[in-house]
Amino acid sequence: MDKPFHLFELTKELIDDFRSRDYEAHFHDFEELIIITQGSLEHFIDFKKEVLEAPVACYVSMGKMHKLIPEKDLRGWVINYKTAFIPDSKLSFYSNFATSTNIPLSGGTCINQFIALCQIINTEYNREVVDHLTIQHLLGGLVAMIDAERKRRSPADNVTTASQVITFNNFLKILEENYHCNEGVAFYANKLNMSGRNLNIVCQNNFRKSVSEIIETRKLVEAKRMLLYTDKTVSEIGYDLGYNEKSYFTRVFHTKMEVTPSRFREMTRAIIS
């Protein structure tokens, strides 16, 4: 994508055209945000299928392989943007620790607000002289609204305090610096001066995943990147991510992805070529 930002509406004409063509799985060099306001689609992402029903927001981070199969009644908006356009996006930050980022949206007034904001962004985008700073602020507001909706939709948020949010974000920052090491829950809990049990509670309240699950997911995200973008062997990648044995790394990867690391590399590179 040459432009820093692109937006288009999922109209009946566009969906009919999309359904008439044979689109293959592909990769992006940009971030993609899909706001589904009506209907549904099948989404294949990193060899896993999920069905998205309106209203929902789907975030696809740069470098993930995916394919969309829309139903004929699908309506909404698709927003593409370079990472540097919204550099501090929480959606981008959290995507390193989650296999997919889908946020159900509330109906009624809530979805109408999303539609209205997308329409405002579209108006700005189609001006003769595009003011990208204005679009940047509007898109930042849209991303903030999606994150706020994520928090409201989480049952655990009723017991999440401000201090827990700070602790959780500090944990993710420490994990980002150490995920390649062979460290478990106790290591991160000690870094945060708390017990492993309390850190698990914080993670469940904020992300609905245990500490171990978040650690493994971060390793998995990096493993897929390395399999795709480097020529390192499976053993080397496993070792770089703190797995002392190739067989254990392969077993963990296969459990999460339902394919071996070698098969994942083979399939993704075949798609690219």
Distance separating alpha carbons of residues 198 and 83, to the nearest angstrom = 34
- Name the nearest CA neighbour of 119 among 5, 4, 9: 9
pLDDT given at position 157: 47
Q: How far apart are CA 153 and CA 58, in angstroms?
A: 15
Domain boundaries in the chain? 5-153, 162-272
pLDDT of 206 higher than 90: no
Q: Say what the pLDDT of residue 150 is.
A: 79
- 144-197 residue pLDDT tens: 999 888 777 664 444 557 788 889 989 999 999 999 999 999 999 999 999 999
Q: Range with the lowest mean pLDDT among 24-28, 172-176, 217-221?
A: 24-28
CATH 1.10.10.60 fits 162-272, yes or no: yes
CATH number assigned to the domain with residue range 5-153, chosen from the 4 options 3.20.20.80, 2.60.120.280, 1.10.40.30, 1.10.10.1100: 2.60.120.280
Binned at pLDDT 50, 70 and 90, residue 63 comes out as confident
Cα 106 to Cα 15: distance, rounded to the nearest angstrom: 24
Q: Which residues of 20-32 are buried (b: 16+ CB within 10 A; e: fewer)?
A: eeeeebeeeebbb
Which tokens sit at 58? 């789907």
Question: How far is it, in rounded angstroms, from Cα 43 to Cα 25?
Answer: 10
**What's the rounded Cα separation, in Å, for the pair 73 and 187?**
49
Q: What DSSP character marks residue 193?
A: T
Question: Phi/psi of residue 100, each to 5°?
Answer: -150, 160
pTM over 0.95: no
Q: What pLDDT, in 10s, does the model give residues 221-238?
A: 899 989 988 999 999 999
**More confident call, 125 vs 21:** 125
Q: What average pLDDT does this structure show over 79-98?
A: 86
